[in-house]
Amino acid sequence: MTTCPLAGPCHGAHDCSLSSALYAIPKSPQLALTEMTRADVRAEGVRWGYWEYGAQRDAVPVKVMGHTNYVFPYQRAGVHLTLFHILVGEGVSRWTLESAIMDATETQDEIWVQEHNVHGHSWRHPARWPTGHKTNPPREADSQLYSLEELTHKVSRIAITQCPDFQLLQSCLIKTPQDPAGRNMQVGVRCRCNGCDSLFCRPWHTDTLYQGPPFVYTAPADPPFDPAARTLANQGFGAYATVIGGLTGLDALATPHFSADAVYFFDLNPWMVDFAKLVVQLVLQSPTRLTFLSHMLRRDLLSTGLFPLPMKDPHHAARRVAEAAARTAPVYQAPLNLTQGERCTYDWLLSNASRVCEERDVFRDPRRPPSINPHGILRPRTTRHKNTCAFYYGHGWLSSEATFQRVQQHLRVSQLHFKPYSLHAPLHTLVGTVPQRLLLYTSNVVRPDRMGPLHARLKDDDLVHSVAHLYRGTTPEQLYLIREF
């Protein structure tokens, strides 16, 4: 069974459960937390639950949920979450907990439940179950502890009645040094996020490489396609599958004779998938590439008087002056027709929270791509350089208005698919089972010296007629490599 990730080290029951909660629900003014407890923490002298959240938290006794006039405390803006904190474990009946969860799903964006684990060493014998004390009455009838599987099933079944498209966010055991079997457990579901269906609707902690918002590339990390790559893309295909990354894969759509009935945007990081949906909308709603960059940077580049530059490939001094002007340009404000989910993603983009693109250059020499060290994000050092990405303005799909318009046209007429996908999975799980000629761009997801197993699978995949595989090389002389099957 999955062990709950922790926000930091822990040494006992309270701080391990708190650390698990803080990982799932970080301290943030964006998150309005209502904590349901059995004890009435509003009573004088009672300190119950996760008081460590401070003003972010409203502690409410679960008994008020049965009152017809009860409403959740909405005095704070943000994503509204309710945490049911060890209720059945402390003697509340299952019926009371499940009814309260049902009521919460009608209005709350996320529901989190922590309970004692019936299979934990601490609770294997019912005689050890909490039986009541001064601020906690004796156990009610029908208050048998849950297993993790049972609690996950109950919460999911309740959530689906109010939000059929709910997401199971977490189902895991909270282990302690004293109880490695899992003293407690935590289950979380998302019903809505203020109407937002984007993963970016609220902050998330992450301690996994290439997962979560810190690992979202908000500008290209790869150099633009070289002549060989552009030649390969400059023809017709049944489908085009491109890793999202910094969306360098849009270079294929900029070639004059490229065509594909379907375009698949994929990435191992599901947050990148949501981010790609936003970028596509920004491309489609921008009349020029300068407008697109202004939206991406939230800077009014035209107001600097330097954009668009009069030359196709400006010399170094002109680029340096324009780059500096772009960083200090006035805030760009123009209407965008975005869904609530795309708006959540755009708000995140404007927060500059990416750790793989801490700096974003407008210009860059394709022969000198920036240095990015994703591994350093999880092991930060005081001397760590800032990871820098670049739009390569004047090159690739942003080389001219003509290339930008070609990309717009393909995004309008092609069938677009956005999917989380790992190259370890069979290719047909991404592009389907209809035989077709496929262009596959994978950047440097797989190192060139470890490409053998992937190519062996592509060669043996009889569900696709043929595959042209484009991927990153390792030298400035060979920016991209090609294999066809």
Condensed to tens digits (0 to 9), the pLDDT of residues 179-237 reads 999 999 999 998 876 566 678 877 776 667 788 888 999 999 899 999 999 999 999 99
The whole-angstrom separation of Cα 409 and Cα 236 is 15
Name the H helices within 241-284: 270-284
**pLDDT the model gives residue 183:** 95
Residue at 61: amino acid letter:
P
Q: How many other β-carbons are positioned within 10 Å of the β-carbon of residue 454?
A: 19
**CATH tag, 13-192:** 3.40.50.150
pTM, rounded to two decimals: 0.74
| Cα 437 to chain centroid, rounded | 31
**pLDDT the model gives residue 296:** 96
The whole-angstrom separation of Cα 336 and Cα 285 is 7
The whole-angstrom separation of Cα 4 and Cα 12 is 15
**pLDDT the model gives residue 318:** 80
- Residue identified by tokens 């350089």 is 385
Domain with CATH 3.40.50.150 in the chain: 13-192
SS3 269: coil
**pLDDT the model gives residue 44:** 55
**pLDDT the model gives residue 405:** 97
SS3 390: strand
Residue 388 — φ and ψ, nearest 5°? -125, 130
**pLDDT the model gives residue 75:** 59
Under DSSP, the state recorded for 254 is: G
pLDDT tens readout for residues 230-241: 999 999 999 999
The whole-angstrom separation of Cα 430 and Cα 418 is 10
Who's near 353: CB < 8 A, 6+ residues apart?
Answer: 213, 214
User: Which residues, given as ranges, of the chain have pLDDT below 50?
Assistant: none
**pLDDT the model gives residue 485:** 83
- Residue identified by tokens 């109880």 is 179
Using CB atoms within 10 A of its CB, is residue 426 exposed (0-12), middle (13-18) or buried (19+)? exposed
* Alpha-carbon dihedral sign for residues 447, 450, 451, 453: negative
Q: What dihedral do alpha carbons 350, 352, 356, 362 form, nearest 10°?
A: 70
**pLDDT the model gives residue 69:** 62
φ/ψ region of 305 (left if φ > 0, alpha if ψ in -120 to 50, else beta) reads left
